[in-house]
Chains A and B, each alone.
Chain A
């Protein structure tokens, strides 16, 4: 797993088929041994019938993809791309305390001002657009209630 300081090289073309084989095997096992394949008395398929067929095909083709992937080059993943899911996880964690809307606002400001080093003008305009989407479109227009978080729940009783 070599790479530079800002990236890592992973044999994902080998790892993905292996994961697919494992998923196929799990669905195959549960399908055959827990749900059954065919109800011979009623002469009809059971709920495991369809997943078992698909899982079998998945295992077979994943083995082929694995063989093809072994000689493939490793894929380079940059660390910066993973800041996006990390940011999302931070919003989720923060929403339990400060609520989703406030957490989103804080995320926009931190992302643009601290990470991207944008001007206050750009940051505030972007924040206004994001708040229009979240509060204007989703909360007011579509009527979606976003979680308020522990602090606001306590204040509002």
Chain B
């Protein structure tokens, strides 16, 4: 009941004219960026982060939340109309979305299904978040520096382990991200560290240029491979809102998978490293166990509903550990967390107590963003084909310019642009070589928190390692999980060498 009262207070924060307009702006921008093939939510949020400079922290994060959330809607459009997923969760949407719009000649209904399922999944996710967030925060209040340090290590390594094809490379980049974050000032002693005599590095590697480069600029470099690809749709009929409406029978088909996937997706979103993509895959896989009117993969409405509801629910669910424990579940979550920290807010167990206006305002804004995005998403159906027809070769110079001015505006100097350029080139080379950069971003954001907690834990324990890692049941459990995560790639490598396990390449 307390949660509902706090949520109502959150709505009173959101219902100011500025916050409403910002939420609307975030929803529109997120939808457009999400709809454009090849950009994705991570790059979208990173590129639009500088636009929040104008606002106070609550308003800024409301905009970012709306942006992230509406991005999840937008990813499905190019998957349905062009068979090109706008982001990774939309890969599953394309399986039924494209056949439904081309073979079954129901493109408007396919888009409407995706929008409605996203809305239902998202609503379920946000309702669960309303209750789960504070509950998680209550658990987090029992965590001391030692428990927090081990939890952060688990979050970092598990994402490094889960994202990408090779656990070793994921953890290597996590560690590299931590080391980059140690450049600048040591916050506990106030003295310079690893600045190599450079005055610019005294302030550390700036978050915004770093993230814009690693994600946005690297993405532009990758887009050069796709610039000559045709993005013409096979759909010849004109899309209208009226012609896209679902029948009562369609709604009956849509609701069960959307509700099931909404619940499942939320809990997937809470897990570190899982996120919207895993949610969409599991949602689709789960639908296989249930009856669909048409076979999955042939344009079944149920297939679109299952994965779209799951990915939006996962996006909402991922806010629970982000707000309550300060631990993001994905690269996009890491960017959002970086945005929060940039505004001087420290997500964690005390956020709901110390900053209730902000925490509940953000949750309320997700409800609002969900409704606004649905309305806008339905409204833009008639012009979607035109938005999607923007050629990649035209998008490339525009994103390059956004990367440039976005990174410049953070530092008011070309230092930010240089950081962006270096991290962009490195991000491109790393991704091209099979190293996923999401764990590096996450580690970069969480590193100061980890160092602070680890050093406090060692001061409290007087230097005893066992007193840090084995001082409570929570620490011991988390430490065992950590060891398992770190040891798995090493053990797997040794077993493969010894011939006990088969090499992946050989089995394929």
Contacts and interface: CB of A to CB of B under 8 A. Distances in A.
Contacts of B403: 88
Contact of A47 (B191, B394, B434, B490): B191
B200 interface: no
B421 A144 contact: no
Contact of A77 (B186, B432, B490): B432
Contacts of A126: 394, 397-398
A45 B450 CA distance: 14
A144 B458 contact: no
Interface in B413-466: 414, 417-418, 421, 424-425, 428-430, 432-435, 450-451, 454-455, 458-459, 462-463
Interface in B151-176: 166, 168-169, 171-172, 175-176
Contacts of B221: 81-82, 84-85
B54 A27 contact: no
A91 B249 CA distance: 56
Interface string A80-98: 1111110111011001000
B404 A91 contact: yes
A126 B399 CA distance: 11
Instruction: Kindly name the residue among A45, A49, A108, A141 whose own CB sees the greatest number of chain B CB atoms within 10 A.
Output: A45
Given A50-B455, A107-B397, A133-B401, A27 B424 contact: no
A5 interface: no
B502 interface: no
Contacts of A61: 168, 171-172, 175
B206 interface: no
A45 B458 CA distance: 7
A130 interface: yes
A16 B430 contact: yes
A45 B460 CA distance: 11
B484 interface: no
A129 interface: yes
Contact of B414 (A51, A92, A116): A92
Interface residues of B, number: 65
B227 to A, nearest CB: 8
A142 B50 contact: yes
Contacts of A16: 429-430, 433, 435
A142 B409 contact: yes
A54 B225 CA distance: 36
A73 B159 CA distance: 25
Interface of A: 12-13, 16-17, 20, 23-24, 27, 30, 35, 38, 43-45, 47, 49-51, 54-55, 57-58, 61-62, 64-65, 67-68, 75, 77-78, 80-85, 87-89, 91-92, 95, 100, 104, 107-108, 111-112, 116, 118, 122, 126, 129-130, 133-134, 137-138, 141-142, 144-147
18 contacts: A13-B434, A27-B179, A35-B193, A45-B458, A50-B451, A51-B179, A65-B168, A68-B166, A75-B433, A81-B221, A81-B224, A84-B217, A88-B217, A118-B393, A126-B397, A134-B405, A144-B409, A146-B405
Interface of B: 50-51, 53-54, 166, 168-169, 171-172, 175-176, 178-179, 182, 186, 188-189, 191, 193-194, 217, 220-222, 224-225, 227, 393-394, 396-398, 400-405, 408-409, 412, 414, 417-418, 421, 424-425, 428-430, 432-435, 450-451, 454-455, 458-459, 462-463, 489-490, 493
